[in-house]
Amino acid sequence: MNNNPVNKVVVVGGGTAGWLSAGLIAKKLASSGMHVQLVEASDLPVIGVGEGTFPTMRHTLQFLGIDEDVFIRECSATFKQGIRFSNWKHDPAERPGYYYHLFDLPARSGPFDLTYGWLARESEEAGVLPFSHAVAAQAAVCDLGLGPKQKVAKPYTALNQYAYHLDSGKFIDFLRAHCVGKLGVRHEIATISSVRHAEDGRIEAVISEDGREFSGDLFIDCSGFSSLLLGESLGVRFLDVGNQLLTNAALAVQLPYSDPESGPILSYTHSQAERAGWVWDIGLQSRSGVGYVYSSDHATDDEAMSVLERYTGVNSDRLNARKIPMRVGYRESFWQKNCVAVGLSAGFVEPLEATAISMIEQSVKMLIERFPSRYEEMEPLSRHFNKVFRQRWEGIIEFIKFHYCISQRTDSDFWLDNRRIETVPEGLRARMERWQSFPMEEIDFNDKFEMFGLASYRYVAYGMGFNLGLPERLRNYAASPGMQTLLNQVRSSAAGVKDELPSHRELIRSVVRRAGTMGG
């Protein structure tokens, strides 16, 4: 049995996955004498499909010792309060519309869950507010283009839950400088060409094209889609789920604002459904990131480009769009021997819910909370790690598929194919069958660390008009005076946000100005 201590971690690959991995490991384990080395090639492009994050990024940046104002200034970051889904429910030619998947939870007060009050009124009254607007004032904040907090709010605090939109390239440069300059990560530029294994199969070293060897005790594979260590060298299979998630390509563009100084900035990600996929629109400080995620089985590249032209109002010869092929799925295991895959080397799903960076955070945080001190500890730790992240990948796939399979659009084969029962994961199928008889509740979500729980499913389900019935046993509870009081509180809060919060542009301007006075 190998009883060697784990004293050195080698991260193979840079990007967001590599530098977040290196930084979090170095920060957490520095006091134990851990050495962290990151090896990255100098010529690999940034994928940058998703520039959106989860609210967990606030805690990650704080843990790394990063000032929020400086981060926002240096990474052209803005605030994200959720996702606005346009035209997902119906064909827009017949019934255009939108709903929000917000970061704020639907309102509750003591025993009262406003979701049930809304369900009772939705089925009985005309002119009821959409679900997201009725249960959370944050929907009004997004509609009005406001920021999630006041200009004088302390870093990482807010009235509303928020995450960030960021420039991927600038974020990587920012993390690199922070990890090397303040966390002691050793940085090497090298293109890895081969891997040396010990007799028991573990990785002893990775070897560069120019013959340099980088030895370590634990290796983090952040080599992207190639999965150089886990996939190629250790032979862990990729499980393709393209039969469930039908989109397999994206066109991405960057568009400067016509008025970069005073024009509005979206404080949410905009997702607009199209005939063969959907368009994303992410607002940064001086530009927007726009792209079309689509199924190449349902649209040609020229047709996809036409969608981007129509959405942006810019001719294709000026868009300079970049095509990104997407192989959707995940590895059969994520920790094999002494190698852990993080980021694209572990798996990839389309960026509909901006899960990529959050899965990086989750992977590394679980690793550092139960970090092996000796090689012999890796086997039981890896078994648990693999079980947890297999479930999390399956959960993400089910949630993304949920958006598609409950759509009422019938205007193209893409939407009809997404509704075919054989394309719906078995676990999601079982949940949806239960929800035909019972409203979704906490009991349907067994893992408290599940990325998308009750609130997320409710925003999507009720925004899309799925299963709006309410059992008779809940009607008296839903119609109680306390429920009406809670409903009125949300309406009052929504009506007052315009007087309480600045525009998103004003908030970003004040944060950048404050960061400049710090000299950070």
The catalytic residue positions are 80
User: Environment class of residue 164 by beta-carbon count within 10 Å: exposed (0-12), middle (13-18) or buried (19+)?
Assistant: buried
User: Environment class of residue 434 by beta-carbon count within 10 Å: exposed (0-12), middle (13-18) or buried (19+)?
Assistant: middle
Q: Is the four-CA dihedral 190, 193, 194, 195 of positive or negative sign?
A: positive
Helix residue spans in 30-110 (DSSP H): 56-63, 68-74
Q: Which two tokens stand for residue 95?
A: 């019934």
Q: Quick one: how far is CA 397 from the chain centroid?
A: 12
CA gyration radius, the chain: 24
- By C-alpha distance, which of 197, 140, 170, 150 is closest to 51? 170
Q: Which two tokens stand for residue 240?
A: 């393709």
Distance CA 385, CA 389 (A): 6
* 3-class DSSP assignment, residue 220: strand
Distance CA 235, CA 331 (A): 10
**String of DSSP letters for 19-44:** HHHHHHHHHHHGGGT-EEEEEE-SSP
Beta strands in 268-310 (DSSP E): 269-274, 277-283, 287-294
- By C-alpha distance, which of 451, 462, 444 is closest to 396? 451
- Torsions phi, psi of 196, nearest 5? -105, 130
Amino acid at 475: R
Q: State the CB neighbour count (10 A cutoff) for residue 182.
A: 14
Q: Between 56-63 and 356-369, two packed helices, what is the crossing angle to 10 degrees?
A: 50
Q: Is the four-CA dihedral 107, 268, 362, 447 of positive or negative sign?
A: positive
**E strand or H helix that includes residue 355:** none
**281 strand-pairing partners:** 270, 290
Q: HEC string of 459-479?
A: HHHHHCCCCCCCCHHHHHHHC
Given a contact cutoff of 8 angstroms between Cβ atoms, the answer to whether 155 and 67 are in contact is yes
Return the biggest CA–CA distance within the chain. 75
How far from 141 is each of 71, 133, 498, CA to CA, in Å? 23, 10, 8
- By C-alpha distance, which of 514, 401, 499 is closest to 68? 514
How far from 328 is each of 245, 309, 423, CA to CA, in Å? 7, 26, 14
